[in-house]
Amino acid sequence: MVNTAEVVSSHDLQAPIKLGVKDLSISYGDHLALRNSTFEIREHEIFGIIGPANAGKTSFLKAVNRMDMFDPQMEVSGEIRFNGLDVSKVRNVYGLRRRIGVVFPLPVGLPMSVYDNVALAPRLASTKKRADLDVIVERCLRRAALWDEVKDRLNTLGSLLSGGQQQRLTIARALSQEPELLMLDEFSIAVDPVTTMRIEDVLKELKQEITIILVTNLVQQARRLADRTAFFLDGECVEVAETEELFSGEVKDQRTRDYVDGRFG
Amino acid sequence: MFSASELNHRNQRIQSLFRFFLGGMTVTLMVPVVIILTVLIIKGGPAISFEFLFTNPTNGMTAGGIFPALLGTICLVLVALIASVPLGIGAAIYLSEYAPDNAFTRIINLAIINLAGVPSIVHALFGLGAFVIFFKFGTSILAASLTLAILTLPVVIVATRESLQAVPMAFREACWNMGATRWQTIRRVVLPNAITGILTGVILEVSRTAGETAPIMFTGAAFFLPLLPQSVFDQTMALSLHLFVVSTQVPNMPEHLPYGVALVLICLVLMMNSLSIALRMYLRGKKKW
């Protein structure tokens, strides 16, 4: 984890920029998924991204993690700076991805044991000692609020857990990379409300150590968690504002107001 | 309210008709298999004995056993596997996991499909020209096995590629997102989940290889040899060719002998297929998603 000992109570506009996005456009062939978006994400904040389907939210996450490498259709232009470094010019993309944890909308428990699921990332980064792995696995499962449920059956297949458990398993797996940035893409789709609240509590704690991007369909979830929120619509970053401003109607754009008030989307 | 209308009755009659019709087709399909097996067992069964399997043919092949041919077939299959399995699996991994979707890849895929359609006698002539003459292996186990390997490569490639592509994309993406390279992803996530299908493909290849006759006729299988082969550069007898020889080329052949050879050959192939099915069932029990 990041070695910041101080606790950041609320977010801090003076905090250094974790992720700087400038003139970012993403297209798949003729389809423009995101255009000319500019905003920045600061350290130790939860940055919410709300917006209806097809707004370009997931494409943005893919671009941050350089997943365009695996998708020949996907083209990214503009700039994404992670810790000040342009990700498109990073040579060691594997190192970049290791610092960025991703949680997908649908839980993907890999068909290996619960233990191996969480130990996979450390193993890929060549941590091999069983004792070290044991510590990492327990810590990550505890943080993902899953430890108590699986501690007696770490050898069952990850893909056999229930949907909500698998989702927490993927969160544990993302944390096992010891990421500086955690990106959650609509993580609560497959999770029941009680578990969702537990994970949200975990996220609030985590932000003292890492930066979190929370893409969500649930407007109220962004309101509960995010320090600042961006509203994406049809491939456009309409507005970025303090979450409270966004929800109290102090926003400039009529479309944002309509969306958060539930008038469309 | 639920009384059947005329339309309901008609639909049901048609459905019964089709059920009967399609069931009949299935039964028809089984008839030749059952007849072949029955005839072979009745006529060839008495020929099978320990001596038959483990001694040399005698009296101009009209008596004695088939040991050299049995051993020869096993050797041919083993050497063919050593050549084709690594090559086929490697190519399939490249095509499924690495190859970009472009004209070149599509041409390779087309070539593989076409390779599967080339008649085996053409493979035989190719093997003769390439391995026997050009590479100077002579008519030998090596030349025959390499010919068989090329003949059966498409089986391995297609089976492997399909089982690799059956592994959900989401597994790969999850792994890539963790900073794994393509190879790490293949090694830790894709291959362990595809291994069942790959093994099945390999076993099917074995049964195909064991039965082929034409490709080995010109390249390494002999009519009759008094001695067992000493190395891969020697010729060998083989069950499939032996069956052809004792059925058509030798006068005064006792009737049970060709049937016995055929029974041994078909048992070998069926054993391989059953092994493949058993393996598939065992591993499906451990299926992971």
What is the C-alpha to C-alpha distance for residues A234 and A232, in angstroms, rounded to an integer?
Answer: 7
- What mean pLDDT, rounded, does chain B reach? 88
Q: What are phi and psi of A5, to 5 degrees?
A: -85, -35
Residue B31 lies in a domain: no
B189 in A contact zone (CB under 8 Å) = yes
Residue B122 lies in a domain: yes
Q: Residue B218 sits in a domain of what CATH number?
A: 1.10.3720.10
In the DSSP assignment, the letter for residue A5 is -
Give the pLDDT confidence score for residue A179 in this predicted structure: 92
Q: Which of A114-118, A234-238, B3-7, B117-121 has the lowest mean pLDDT?
A: B3-7
Mean pLDDT to the nearest integer, B157-172: 91
Give the pLDDT confidence score for residue A6 in this predicted structure: 43
Residue B108 lies in a domain: yes
Closest-CA residue to A114 (of A85, A88, A149, A80): A149
In this predicted model, what pLDDT tens digit does every residue of A145-165 receive, in sequence order?
Answer: 889 899 899 988 888 888 888
Chain A nearest-CA distance from B274, in A, is 27
ipTM: 0.84
User: H or E stretch including A212?
Assistant: strand A211-216
Residue B21 lies in a domain: no
Chain B nearest-CA distance from A94, in A, is 4
The percent of residues above 90 in pLDDT, for chain A, comes to 35
Give the pLDDT confidence score for residue B286 in this predicted structure: 67
pTM here? 0.81
A122, A132 in Cβ contact below 8 A? yes
Sequence-ordered alpha helix ranges (H) in A65-111: 93-98
B100 in A contact zone (CB under 8 Å) = yes
Residue of B177, B182, B190, B196 to mutate for A, most A C-beta atoms under 10 A: B177
Contact list, A65 vs chain B (CB under 8 Å):
177
Q: Which of A8-22, A186-200, B174-188, B203-217 has the lowest mean pLDDT?
A: A8-22
Mean pLDDT to the nearest integer, A176-185: 92
What is the C-alpha to C-alpha distance for residues A135 and A121, in angstroms, rounded to an integer?
Answer: 14
User: H or E stretch including A100?
Assistant: strand A100-103
Residue B137 lies in a domain: yes
Could you tell me the two tokens for B29? 């399909």
B270, B210 in Cβ contact below 8 A? no
Mean pLDDT to the nearest integer, B134-158: 91
Q: What amino acid occupies position A220?
A: Q
A167, A187 in Cβ contact below 8 A? yes
Q: Is the pLDDT of residue B219 over 60?
A: yes
Residue B240 lies in a domain: yes
Between residues B284 and A142, which one has the greater pLDDT? Answer: A142
Give the pLDDT confidence score for residue B254 in this predicted structure: 84
B156, B200 in Cβ contact below 8 A? no
A32 in B contact zone (CB under 8 Å) = no
Give the pLDDT confidence score for residue A1 in this predicted structure: 43
Residue of A108, A117, A156 to mutate for B, most B C-beta atoms under 10 A: A108
Q: Which of residues 57-76 of A touch B (CB under 8 A)?
A: 65, 67, 70, 72
Per domain, the residue ranges of chain A are: 16-99+181-188+210-265
The percent of residues above 70 in pLDDT, for chain B, comes to 98
Residue B19 lies in a domain: no
Q: Which of A190-194, A259-263, B3-7, B284-288 has the lowest mean pLDDT?
A: B284-288
Give the pLDDT confidence score for residue A161 in this predicted structure: 87
Q: Which of A121-135, A240-254, B17-31, B73-87 has the lowest mean pLDDT?
A: A240-254
A135 in B contact zone (CB under 8 Å) = no
CATH class assigned to A16-99+181-188+210-265: alpha beta
| Total tally of structural domains belonging to chain B | 1
Chain A nearest-CA distance from B288, in A, is 5
Range of the domain at B151: 50-285
Give B67-70's long-range contacts (Cβ < 8 A, gap of 24+).
B68/B225, B68/B228, B68/B236, B68/B237, B69/B237, B69/B238, B69/B239, B69/B241, B69/B242, B69/B261, B70/B239, B70/B264
Give the pLDDT confidence score for residue A12 in this predicted structure: 57
Residue B62 lies in a domain: yes
Chain B nearest-CA distance from A260, in A, is 31
What is the C-alpha to C-alpha distance for residues A65 and A197, in angstroms, rounded to an integer?
Answer: 27
